[in-house]
Amino acid sequence: MRVVWATDIHLNFLQPRERAAFYSSFHGGQPDAVFITGDIAEAPCLHELLGEMQQAIAVPLYFVLGNHDFYHGAIETVRRGIQDWCSTQSGLTYLSSSGLIELTPKTVLIGHDGWGDGRYGNYHQSPVRLSDQEVIWDFQGLDKQSILAKLHTLGDEAALHLGEMLTRAAGSYEQVICLTHVPPFKEACWYEGKMGNDDWLPFFACQAVGEVLLEMTRAHPDCQVTVFCGHTHHAGIVQILPNLCVKTGSAEYGQPHVEEFFIIE
C-alpha cells in the first residue's frame, strides 16, 4: 500500500489555484491513501476544503483535526459535524471517531486529534497565550486555571480513545500506525532541531497520549507503533522505545507540502 502523508496544510491560507497545485503534488507518489495529521483549515470552511481535497486526490483520505480546525467554532460541535458528514462521504475517514482501519493484514491505522494538554513544561509560569484561547469558543472567557482543566480534559479524551484502539490492535497486528495532531512526547516536540522549551511544551505536546502509548508498547514489544504528528511545524524523528517511533512533520503557512511518501507492507 502506497501512502502519502502531509500535515498542517492550512488550506484556508491558499487561493484556489494554489490548492489545486498542492493536490496535484499528491499524484506523483501514486498513493493508495493519503494521511493528514490536522490543521487542515478552520471550522467555517473545513467541510468545503476537505471535500474539495478528497475529490481532487481521488483516493481514501484518513485524517485527524488540529487546533486550527476548531477556530471560529466549538470543539464538540465541529467534531460531531465532521463525524456525521464523513459518514455520508465515501473516501473520507475521521479517525477520532472511527474504529480500527485495517490497511493490510499486518498493519492497522488508528488516530485522534490529541491536544496540547498543559502537562509537559511549566504551564503556570508560561507567558504563552495561543490564539486558540481567543477563537475557539470553548476557551472564551475562561481564566488560566479553567483553561488548564479544559486542556487536561482534551488530552484525556485523546488518550482514552487511543488506549481503546491500541488495546484492540496490539494483539492482532504487527504494526500500528497512529495519526495525531499534537506530539505525544516532549522529545517529539521539535522546534528548529531542538526540543520545545518549558513555556511552549504545555501547548505543543500531549502527555496523556504519550503515557498510553508507552504503556501499550511496553506491554506489546512485538507490536511496532509509528506515530505521525505535526502542530509544531518543525520536523524530527525520535525513537522513544525500540517499538515506538514518533515522526513530526514540518509545515509553513501558505506553502503546504507532502511530508513523506512510504509503502506499508
The one-letter amino acid code at 69 reads: D
Least distance to Fe ion from the beta carbon of 205, Å?
12
Q: Contact between 67 and Fe ion (CB under 5 A)?
A: yes
Binding Fe ion (rule: CB under 5 A), the pick from 4, 5, 8, 155 is 8
Q: What length is written for the chain?
A: 265
Binding Fe ion (rule: CB under 5 A), the pick from 34, 37, 65, 66 is 66
Binding Fe ion (rule: CB under 5 A), the pick from 12, 23, 33, 39 is 39
Rounded to whole angstroms, how far apart are CA atoms 107 and 176?
6
By CB under 5 A, which span of 8-16, 48-56, 167-175, 202-210 interacts with Fe ion? Answer: 8-16
3-state SS assignment for residue 94 = strand
CB 102 within 8 A of CB 94: no
Query: To 5 degrees, how large is the angle CA 249–CA 132–CA 15?
Result: 60
Rounded to whole angstroms, how far apart are CA atoms 6 and 228?
9
Beta strands (DSSP E) in 74-221 are 92-94, 101-102, 107-112, 175-180, 190-191, 194-195
Q: Contact between 249 and Fe ion (CB under 5 A)?
A: no
Q: How many Å separate Cα 180 from the centre of its chain?
A: 3
Least distance to Fe ion from the beta carbon of 169, Å?
25
Binding Fe ion (rule: CB under 5 A), the pick from 150, 186, 231, 234 is 231
Q: How many residues bind Fe ion (CB under 5 A)?
A: 5
Least distance to Fe ion from the beta carbon of 116, Å?
8
Torsion sign, CA atoms 103, 108, 112, 114: negative
CB 201 within 8 A of CB 155: no
By CB under 5 A, which span of 16-24, 65-73, 89-97, 142-150 interacts with Fe ion? Answer: 65-73
* Spatial CB neighbours of 101, under 8 Å, sequence gap ≥ 6: 62, 93, 95, 108, 109, 110
Residues from 79 through 108 that contact Fe ion (CB under 5 A): none
By CB under 5 A, which span of 22-30, 32-40, 71-79, 169-177 interacts with Fe ion? Answer: 32-40
Cell of 243: 517499538
Least distance to Fe ion from the beta carbon of 130, Å?
9
Least distance to Fe ion from the beta carbon of 67, Å?
5
Beta strands (DSSP E) in 78-143 are 92-94, 101-102, 107-112
Q: Which is nearer to Fe ion, 108 or 205 (CB)?
A: 205
By CB under 5 A, which span of 36-44, 92-100, 126-134, 240-248 interacts with Fe ion? Answer: 36-44
Q: Which is nearer to Fe ion, 173 or 190 (CB)?
A: 190
| Interacting residue ranges for Fe ion, rule: CB under 5 A | 8, 39, 66-67, 231
